[in-house]
Structure 1
Amino acid sequence: MEPEVYPHPKYKTVKVWDLPGIGTPNFKADEYLKLVVFERYDFFIIIASDRFKECHTQLAKEIMRMGKKFYFVRSKMDSIINAEKRKKSFDQKKTLDTIREDCEKGLRKIGIEDPVVFLISNFELGKYDLNQLQERMERELPQHKRRVLMLALPNITLEINEKKKKALEKNIGIVAFLSALGATVPIPGLSFALDLAIVTREIETYYSTFGLDDTSLQKLCERSWKTTEEFRSLMKSPLSGVINPSSILYLVGAASLVVAENAVEYAVSLIPILGTMVAGGMSYVTVSKMLKRALDDIAEDARNVLMASVQTEL
C-alpha cells in the first residue's frame, strides 16, 4: 500500500523501490505517479506475471509524458517453460518467441508503439533477457550513474563479469595517482605503507564487487547445491585466502623488490623537483601493475565461480 525502499547492501546510494500495484481503485494511472512521488526515481520497471493490462500501459504513457524511462518485464519464465515442457512439440526458442510476440502485440493494441519486452526468471537470473535489460538501462542512464549500476548488479552472467572488470580497470589510474602523491613526501616507509593500504582497500572492493566476499558466497550457496569450500577451491588467486601484506607482495614478484623500490623512492624524493617526480612515477607504475594483476586474477576467479554456479543450476 506504500512505496517501500530497499537500499543495495553494498552501494548505499543505489535504491530499489517497490511501488504499490497499479489498477486498484486507490491507485489509478493518472494519479499514481503523484502518489508515489514520481520525481525521486531514475527509471521504472513495470512487471507482469501474465499479460500486460491496460493499467500497465496507462502508467507507461504517464511516465513517458513526464519524460522518464520505463521497461516492461514479463516475469516467472521458469514456471511457463516448465509447464510447456510437458508438450511433445516443445521448442524453447519458439515458446519464448511466442510469449514475447504475444506481449508485444497486446501492448501495441493499447497504444504502445514499438514495445520491447524483457523475459525474466527470478530463480534463473542468468537465463533469458536479464543481460539485455541491464544493457538497455546502462545505455539510457546518465553517464555518471552507469558505473554505479554496473558495479551494483549481481555477478550472474559472463558479460556482466567482463563489464565489471572493465569498469574497475578505469579506476586503477586514479588509485595509482593517490599512491604517487604519497611517494613525493620524503618520510622513510611512508610510500610503502600507503601503497599497501591503498592496494588492500582496492582489492577488498574487487572481491565485494565480483561477489567473492564471504557474505556473497554464502548467498550463492543458498541458491545452489555447492558449499562455500567448493567455491573457494575454484579461486586460484593467492589473495583469496586472506588479504595481508605478505599475500599482496606476490603482486610485484617478491618482498625484496618492494623494499628496494621503497628505498629508491625515498632517496630520489629528497632531490628537489626532479626527485619528487621520479618517486611519484615509480609509485604510480608499481601500484598500477599490482592492481592490474590482482584484478585479472580475481576476475578469473569470479568467472570460475560463476560457471560452476550456472552448471549447478542447469
Structure 2
Amino acid sequence: MRNIAKSAGHSGVVAYIKDNMDKWKKEPVKFGIIGGTNSGKSSFVNCVRHVKEGEEGFAIVGRGDTTRVPTPYIHPKSSQIVYWDLPGVGTLDFPKNEYIEQMKIHEYDYFFVFFADVLHEDDLWVARQLIMMNKPFCLVRSKVDKDVKKGDKQGIDQNSVFVNLRTKTLKSINKHINLKAHCKLFLISCKEGVGEIDKLVKHIKENVSSIKSEAVVYTLHTLSQEVIEEKFKLLKSRVNKASLGTALISASPIPGIDIYANISILVKEIKHYINVFGLTNKQIRKVSYRDKKQLKCKELFGLCSEKKTRKIVTAMFIEKYVVLFAALSISDIFLPIVGSVISAASTATIVYKFLNEILENLHQDATFVYDLILPLPVRIIRTLRVRFENEGQEGLNKYIFDMLDRWKEETVMIGVIGEPNSGKNEFINPYYHPDNERIIFIGTDISGSKEIQIGPYDDFYVFLNGDIHTDDICILRDLTKMEKSFSVIRTRYVPPQHDPETILGTGLAWLRLDTDLELAELLVERDEEIDSVRLRKIICSQIFKDNECENDTHPNMCVLSCLHISVGEINELINHMIKNLPLPKSEAVVNALFPLSKLVIEEKFQYLKKRIVYLATAATSTTALQIPSICFPLNTHILADELKHYIKVFRFSEKSDEPHKISDRDINTLLCKELLEPGVVFSDIIHRQIKVLSSDDNIAANENIADLFYPVAGSLVSSANNAAIVYKCLTAFLEDFRHDAFVVYDHV
C-alpha cells in the first residue's frame, strides 16, 4: 500500500482497493436453462434480467419450440453473467447419448430444469446426469399464478395450492432415492407477489462460489423484498472492506493523501450501493415529488456527474467527521509509527460508521421505492395481507377504515403572504374552508424567527404586487432553503395616493424596512407583462444565484404571472399544492374543493378511485353477512356509505343546488339520477348492480380484476372473484358520478 501510494499517489491507492473489492465484476457466471416447450424459460430469463419486450436481449415468449440451438442472454448490468437457454433433451437433433457433450454441461455454474404441469422422464434423466457430474441445479415449476387462480375459483388458498403442487411433483421422484435427496423444487411465477423466486435466489447463492453469488445478487433485478435484503447483507460485508482500505491509507505516512483518497473511496462505494439497489435516475423519476421528500438519501439520487457526487458526499462527511479526521492526518506527520497505528484504527471506525449509516438509509429507500413502483392495488393488497396475518380480521377492518378516514383528522395550514389589495384577500376569503374547518388559510408576514414561523405551514401562497424587486425574493429564498412548497402569484395593483403604508404593505414590509428602495434592483416593472416561464427564470436566477442550479425548474415552486386571477390560474395553484402535500392532507383538500374545473373533477375521481381496493376487501370480508339472492357475503352498508361520500365530494348533496341549475333535458343525461332522488334506498340499487356483475356473462370480464386480489385469496377475502365484483361495482358508480360532474360543470 505504501509503495503504491508513493508511486501512483492517491488515485493508485483508490484503484488498488477498488480492484480488490470489485473482483466480482470480472467473474464469469454461466447459467444453463433446460426445459421443454412453453415451460416458462423465456419469461424467467426476461424477468431476472429485467428486460422488457422491444428492448435488446428480450427472449421471445410463447411461440412453441423457440429454442433450437443454445441461445445466450447476457445480463444488461454485467456481460460476465450469461443465461443460456438450452434446447430440450431427447429430440432428433439432441439425443440423450450426445446431449451432455453437445451442450458442454461441464462449463456451466448452475442449472435450472424447467417443467410445466408434471415432470417427464427426460427431466429426471437431466437431473440424474447433473447429480453424477456434481453440478448444482434446481427443478423449477413455473406459471404457478395460473394454479393459484384456478385454486381460488375452487376456494383453495395459495398456501394449499403450493402444498398440493409440491406433493404432486415430489411424488414422481420419491421412488428415485438419489433424486429425492438432491432435487430442490421451486414454484415460481413472474407475477409480483406469487411464487418462491426469492428462495430460488437464495439457493443459487448457497451453491455457487462466494464471488459468483456476489455478482449474481448485485446485478439481480429487485424482484421482491427478500432480494433487497440479500443485496443489503452483501453490501454490509463490503463496508468492512472499505473501512479496512481507508485504514491502510491512513496508516501510510504520506500527509495529504489520506483525506482525499478516503473521500474517493466513499464516493465510489456509495455509488455502488445506489446501483445495486436499483435506485437509478430512471427508477427515481417514477417516484412523485411528494414521496421523494420521504427518501433519506434524496440528495444523492439523480446526480449525473462524479464531481457533484463527490461534492455532496464530501459535505456529508465533513459535517460529521472532518475535525477528527484532520487531527488524525496531522498526527501522522509527528508520529510516523504510533500515529499511523492510531490513525488507521480510528479512520476505519469513522468510515465504518459513516458507510453503515448511508447503507442503512439506502436500504430503507430501496424498500420504500420498491413499494411505490408496484401498482397501487398490489401495494394495498400486500399491506392488507400483512395486517390480516398479524392482527386478524378485527385488526384488518380497523386498519381499513382508519386508512379511509384518515384525511378527516388532518389539519392543513396554508400561509398567505402579500401586500394589501394584491388579490390575496379575495383568494383566501373566508380564512376557514366552509366544508372543512381543518383547512385554514392564514395571512402572515413571517416576522420573528423564520424557522419557528415557517415550520408549521404546509404550503405558502406569495402574492407579488406589480413591481418586483430583488428584496422581494428574500422570503422565497428562505422558503426554498427550508424545502417548503410555495406558489408565487404576480398581480397588478396601483396603490392609492397619499398612503405610504400601502407601498410597503403588511405582507412583505418586514423585508423592506432595512432596505433602501432606491438601491433595490427592479426586476419586473409594474406594467411589464411577462409570461410564467419568463417570470420563473427571473425568480430562480435570484433564488439560486449563490448556488448551482441545473435548470430553472424547482419542484417546490409554482410561478404564475396572472395580472388578473382567473379560474385557470387557481387550478394550477391547486394542482401544485395537492401534489406537494402529504397524501392525507392532499386528500382532505381535494375532497373539500368546489368542482370549479374539469381538472378538479378529475383529481376528485383519482383520489376516490384509490379507496376502492380497501372497500372491496372490507365489503367481502369473511365476517360479512349473507344477503339473499347474492352469491357471496357482502357488507352493503359499506358500499352505501361510500356512494354517499361520492355524492358529497362531487357536490351532489341535498345542500347543493348545482344539479338543479341545468335543464330537465340535461338532467335526464345524468347516469346517477336515481341515486340523487330523495329517499333513495341505496342497498336496492347496489344489489341490482352486483347481480348483473355476478352473472355468467360478466365472469370472464372480472378475471383480470380478480388477479389483484390473488395474493390474499382464501384468507383476507372470501374470494378474489367476489372482491373483483365489488371493485368493478364501485368503479362503475364512480365513473358515472364523474360523468355527471362533467355534465353539471358544462352547463353551470
Q: In the TM superposition, what are the counterparts of 1:122-271 in structure 2 within 5 Å? A: 122-124=190-192, 126-185=193-252, 189-214=256-281, 217=283, 227-229=286-288, 232=292, 234-237=294-297, 238-242=299-303, 244-249=309-314, 251-252=316-317, 254=319, 257-258=321-322, 260-271=323-334
Cα displacement string for residues 17-76 of structure 1 (whole angstroms, at most 9, x for unaligned residues) = 211122322122332121111111112100112222111111111111222122110111
User: CA separation of 1:288/1:12 partners in 2, compared to 1, >3 Å: closer, same or farther?
Assistant: farther
The match for 1:99 is 165
Cα displacement string for residues 122-174 of structure 1 (whole angstroms, at most 9, x for unaligned residues) = 232x5321122222222233344333333333323333322322211112122
The residue type equivalent to 1:118 in the other structure is: F
| Other structure's SS at 2:117 match | coil
8 Å Cα contact 1:251/1:294 also seen in 2: no
The residue type equivalent to 1:240 in the other structure is: F
The residue type equivalent to 1:121 in the other structure is: S
**1:35 aligns to 2:102 (yes or no):** yes
Return the offset for 1:228: 4.3
Return the offset for 1:268: 1.1
| Other structure's SS at 1:13 match | strand
**1:119 aligns to 2:187 (yes or no):** yes
| Other structure's SS at 1:17 match | strand
The match for 2:347 is 283
Q: Distance in 2 between matches of 1:80 and 1:128?
A: 11
Q: Distance in 1 between matches of 2:222 and 2:358?
A: 18
Which ranges in structure 1 are unaligned for 5 or more consecutive residues? 222-226
User: CA separation of 1:253/1:193 partners in 2, compared to 1, >3 Å: closer, same or farther?
Assistant: closer
Cα displacement string for residues 84-116 of structure 1 (whole angstroms, at most 9, x for unaligned residues) = 43x243432222222222222234467743554
The match for 2:467 is none
| Other structure's SS at 2:191 match | coil
Return the offset for 1:232: 4.5
User: CA separation of 1:253/1:262 partners in 2, compared to 1, >3 Å: closer, same or farther?
Assistant: closer
8 Å Cα contact 1:78/1:123 also seen in 2: yes
| Other structure's SS at 2:300 match | coil
User: CA separation of 1:261/1:110 partners in 2, compared to 1, >3 Å: closer, same or farther?
Assistant: closer
The residue type equivalent to 1:150 in the other structure is: V
User: CA separation of 1:34/1:181 partners in 2, compared to 1, >3 Å: closer, same or farther?
Assistant: same
Q: Name the structure, 1 or 2, with higher relative contact order (CA <8 Å, separation 6+).
A: 1
Return the offset for 1:197: 0.9
| Other structure's SS at 2:172 match | helix
**1:303 aligns to 2:371 (yes or no):** no
Cα displacement string for residues 267-303 of structure 1 (whole angstroms, at most 9, x for unaligned residues) = 2111221122233333222221211111010011111
| Other structure's SS at 2:93 match | coil
Q: Distance in 1 between matches of 2:377 and 2:243?
A: 40
8 Å Cα contact 2:147/2:161 also seen in 1: no
Q: Distance in 2 between matches of 1:131 and 1:165?
A: 14
How many residue pairs get aligned? The number is 302
8 Å Cα contact 1:30/1:62 also seen in 2: no
User: CA separation of 1:313/1:47 partners in 2, compared to 1, >3 Å: closer, same or farther?
Assistant: farther
| Other structure's SS at 1:159 match | helix
8 Å Cα contact 1:191/1:262 also seen in 2: no
The match for 2:155 is 89
Q: Distance in 1 between matches of 2:77 and 2:116?
A: 29
Return the offset for 1:229: 3.9
Q: Distance in 2 between matches of 1:116 and 1:167?
A: 24
Identical positions, percent = 25
Cα displacement string for residues 197-248 of structure 1 (whole angstroms, at most 9, x for unaligned residues) = 1001001110111111235x28xx9xxxxx3446755532142353623432
Q: Distance in 2 between matches of 1:263 and 1:65?
A: 60
**1:80 aligns to 2:147 (yes or no):** yes
**1:17 aligns to 2:17 (yes or no):** no
Q: Give the structure with higher Rg (CA).
A: 2
TM-score (norm 2): 0.37
8 Å Cα contact 1:158/1:303 also seen in 2: yes
Q: Distance in 2 between matches of 1:2 and 1:27?
A: 10
Return the offset for 1:311: 6.0
CA RMSD of aligned residues (A): 2.8
TM-score (norm 1): 0.84
Q: Distance in 2 between matches of 1:266 and 1:67?
A: 53
The residue type equivalent to 2:357 in the other structure is: R
| Other structure's SS at 2:73 match | strand
The match for 1:54 is 121
Q: Distance in 1 between matches of 2:210 and 2:372?
A: 33
User: CA separation of 1:100/1:274 partners in 2, compared to 1, >3 Å: closer, same or farther?
Assistant: same
User: CA separation of 1:30/1:113 partners in 2, compared to 1, >3 Å: closer, same or farther?
Assistant: farther
User: CA separation of 1:119/1:181 partners in 2, compared to 1, >3 Å: closer, same or farther?
Assistant: same
| Other structure's SS at 2:239 match | helix
| Other structure's SS at 1:71 match | strand
Tell me which moved more, 94-103 or 194-203.
94-103
The residue type equivalent to 1:306 in the other structure is: Y
Tell me which moved more, 127-136 or 201-210.
127-136
8 Å Cα contact 1:46/1:73 also seen in 2: yes
| Other structure's SS at 1:118 match | strand
Q: Distance in 2 between matches of 1:233 and 1:27?
A: 57
